[in-house]
């Protein structure tokens, strides 16, 4: 596996996003299957594992800790705080809450360390900027965790270039994580340039466009709780338009000699040495397929053809619904 720089860490060029095993795309996979997937990723050369307190309301961190804690020295561990499950009504039912108050971030970190079975988290992201709390205050709390030895470096997720600069003035930011793929090009507006100016690594989540760039989806078959049911691009009217992009895209993958998923990940790898895709999956065959994207070579002409085919003008629908758009701080077209 090729390596890239993630803040001060050398990691595999392709990491593993650990949301899919228990969150957002249907029922969680059995714990034994999650453990096998995580261990196989490590065996295949993945050294960058990305999880969060939100995913499965702690279930993802628990799975990562159970499977990988005894191999802790072999990989870089990233997790996130500032968005987690909270028993708001006191009835035992957890709901997703964005909370960037310093005391909440400290408590979330302590709980994460226990679930992850580790003494330190290598890269700890503010999962969402809580707009009720100055980002400087949230990052200040994370910098206290650095000084306490609980975390090594700080990251931000789904923030604008302006917010990144404010945060970076308080404490050096090691990485920014944002959705980035052929069909979500928002980072190209400003934050990617800001990362390069400040020496901040860029971690691209959802590099295969929530599965869209893997091939046609049966929308009716999606789980009732699948997050894509809330995303405009997967609504019937928008998906019908977007589906027209897939046939020429798949033809390009055949011409290159790779799978559609590999083409999407390879495009990101070719966009810059500072970009680190973290595709997520719950399947062993998809894991291997994603990792093999590191070997796909794309020439300049192919890159341009891909970008001309799938871009912010040709894709129909917003990436998030109105509520989710209000919760993020990223620039938008």
In terms of Cα–Cα distance, which of 136, 121, 157 is closest to 49?
Answer: 121
Let me know if 55 is a catalytic residue.
yes
In terms of Cα–Cα distance, which of 85, 37, 95 is closest to 286?
Answer: 37
Decide if 316 is inside a domain.
no
Predicted local confidence at residue 288, as pLDDT: 98
pTM value is 0.97
Decide if 314 is inside a domain.
no
In terms of Cα–Cα distance, which of 126, 132, 133, 129 is closest to 108?
Answer: 126
Decide if 149 is inside a domain.
yes
40 CB-contact burial (10 Å; exposed 0-12 / middle 13-18 / buried 19+): middle
Give the pLDDT confidence of 81-91 residue by residue, as tens digits.
Answer: 999 999 888 89
Residue 164, domain extent: 3-210+272-296
- Residues of the chain with confidence (pLDDT) below 70: none
In terms of Cα–Cα distance, which of 265, 284, 277 is closest to 40?
Answer: 284
Predicted local confidence at residue 89, as pLDDT: 87
Helix, strand and coil in the chain, % to nearest 5:
45, 15, 35
Decide if 265 is inside a domain.
no
Predicted local confidence at residue 88, as pLDDT: 86
Decide if 255 is inside a domain.
no
- Structurally, the chain folds into a number of domains equal to 1
Decide if 241 is inside a domain.
no
Decide if 253 is inside a domain.
no
Q: What CATH number has the domain bearing residue 177? A: 3.20.20.100
> Catalytic residue among 55, 124, 239, 249, which?
55
Decide if 175 is inside a domain.
yes
Predicted local confidence at residue 26, as pLDDT: 87
């Amino acid at each position: 596996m090729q390596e890239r720089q993630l803040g001060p860490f050398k990691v595999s060029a392709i990491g593993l996003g650990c949301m899919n095993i228990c969150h957002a795309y249907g029922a969680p996979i059995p714990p034994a299957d999650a453990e096998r997937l995580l261990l196989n990723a490590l065996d295949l050369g993945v050294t960058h594992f990305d999880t969060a307190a939100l995913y499965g309301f702690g279930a993802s961190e628990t799975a990562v800790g159970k499977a990988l804690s005894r191999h802790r020295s072999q990989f870089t561990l990233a997790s996130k705080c500032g968005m987690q499950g909270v028993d708001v009504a006191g009835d035992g039912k957890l709901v997703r809450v964005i909370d960037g108050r310093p005391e909440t971030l400290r408590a979330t970190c302590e709980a994460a360390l226990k679930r992850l079975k580790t003494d330190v988290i290598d890269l700890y992201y503010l999962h969402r900027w809580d707009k009720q709390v100055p980002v400087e205050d949230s990052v200040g709390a994370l910098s206290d965790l650095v000084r306490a030895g609980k975390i090594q470096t700080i990251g931000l997720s789904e923030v604008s270039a302006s917010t990144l600069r404010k945060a970076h003035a308080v404490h050096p930011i090691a990485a920014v994580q944002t959705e980035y793929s052929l069909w979500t090009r928002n980072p190209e507006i400003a934050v990617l340039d800001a990362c390069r100016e400040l020496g901040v690594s860029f971690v691209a989540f959802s590099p295969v466009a929530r599965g869209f760039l893997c091939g046609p989806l049966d929308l009716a078959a999606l789980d009732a709780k699948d997050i894509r049911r809330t995303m405009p691009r997967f609504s019937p009217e928008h998906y019908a338009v977007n589906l027209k992009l897939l046939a020429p895209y798949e033809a390009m993958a055949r011409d290159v000699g790779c799978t559609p998923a590999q083409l999407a990940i390879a495009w990101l790898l070719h966009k810059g040495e500072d970009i680190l895709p973290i595709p997520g999956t719950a399947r062993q065959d998809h894991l291997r397929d994603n990792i093999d994207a590191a070997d796909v070579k794309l020439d300049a002409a192919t890159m341009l053809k891909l970008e001309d085919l799938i871009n912010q003008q040709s894709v129909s629908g917003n990436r998030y619904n109105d509520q989710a758009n209000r919760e993020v701080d990223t620039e938008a077209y």
